[in-house]
Amino acid sequence: MSHFDNLESYPPFFRPNHGIDSNEQACKTSVHLDSDCLPVIDFLCMNPENLSEACRDWGMFRLINHGVPLNLLNQLLDHAKQLFSLTFESKQDLLSSTSPIAYFWGTPALTPSGDALQKGSGTQDHNWLEGLNISLTKLSKFQYEDPLLESFRSSLEEYGRQLSRVATTLFSTMAEDLKLCSTKSKSYLSPPTGILRVYRYFRCMDSHQRWGINAHTDSSVISILHQDEVQGLQVFKDNQWLDVKPIHNTLIVNLGDMAQAMSDDKYLSVKHRVKVNRDKERISIGYFVFPVEDALIECSKYKPFTYADFRTEVQNDLKTLGTKIGLQKFEATQE
Per-residue model confidence as pLDDT tens digits over 266-308: 999 999 999 999 899 999 999 999 999 999 999 999 999 999 9
User: What's the rounded mean pLDDT across residues 206-210?
Assistant: 81
Kindly tell me if the per-residue pLDDT of 173 is higher than 80: yes
In a domain, residue 208? The reply is yes
Q: Residue 51 has what pLDDT?
A: 98
Q: What are phi and psi of 91, to 5 degrees?
A: -65, -40
Give the Cα separation of 157 and 140 in Å (integer).
7
Domain count, the chain: 1
Per-residue model confidence as pLDDT tens digits over 28-72: 344 444 445 899 999 999 999 999 999 999 999 999 999 999 999
Q: What are phi and psi of 246, to 5 degrees?
A: -80, 120
Please choose, from the candidates 179, 170, 148, 146, the residue with its C-alpha nearest in 3D space to the C-alpha of residue 252: 170
Kindly tell me if the per-residue pLDDT of 24 is higher than 90: no
Q: Given the residues 153, 197, 200, 282, select the one marked as catalytic.
A: 282
Residue type, 334: Q
In a domain, residue 311? The reply is no
In a domain, residue 329? The reply is no
- Hey, which residues does 253 pair with through a beta bridge? 61, 224
Please choose, from the candidates 215, 281, 223, the residue with its C-alpha nearest in 3D space to the C-alpha of residue 257: 223
Q: Residue 29 has what pLDDT?
A: 41
3-state secondary structure of 41: strand
CA angle 241, 247, 252 (to 5 degrees): 60
Residue type, 200: R
84, containing H or E segment: helix 70-84
Residue type, 35: S
| 109 — pLDDT class (breaks 50, 70, 90) | low
User: What's the rounded mean pLDDT across residues 106-120?
Assistant: 52
In a domain, residue 115? The reply is yes
Query: Which of the residue ranges 52-66, 136-150, 194-208 has the most confident prediction, judged by mean pLDDT?
Result: 52-66
- Residue 141 DSSP code: T
| Distances in whole angstroms, Cα of residue 50 to Cα of each of 164, 191, 236 | 21, 24, 21
In a domain, residue 59? The reply is yes
In a domain, residue 86? The reply is yes
Active site residue 15: no
| 333 — pLDDT class (breaks 50, 70, 90) | confident
> Considering all CA atoms of the chain, what is the largest pairwise distance in Å, rounded to the nearest integer?
58
Which CATH number goes with the domain that contains 226? 2.60.120.330
Q: Where are the beta strands (DSSP E) in 202-323?
A: 211-216, 222-227, 233-237, 240-243, 251-255, 272-275, 282-290
Kindly tell me if the per-residue pLDDT of 27 is higher than 70: no
Kindly tell me if the per-residue pLDDT of 230 is higher than 90: yes
Q: Residue 36 has what pLDDT?
A: 59
CA angle 267, 159, 171 (to 5 degrees): 25
In a domain, residue 324? The reply is no
3-state secondary structure of 194: strand
In a domain, residue 15? The reply is no
Q: Residue 1 has what pLDDT?
A: 33
Domain region containing 151: 31-298
Q: Residue 258 has what pLDDT?
A: 98
Average of per-residue pLDDT values in the chain: 88
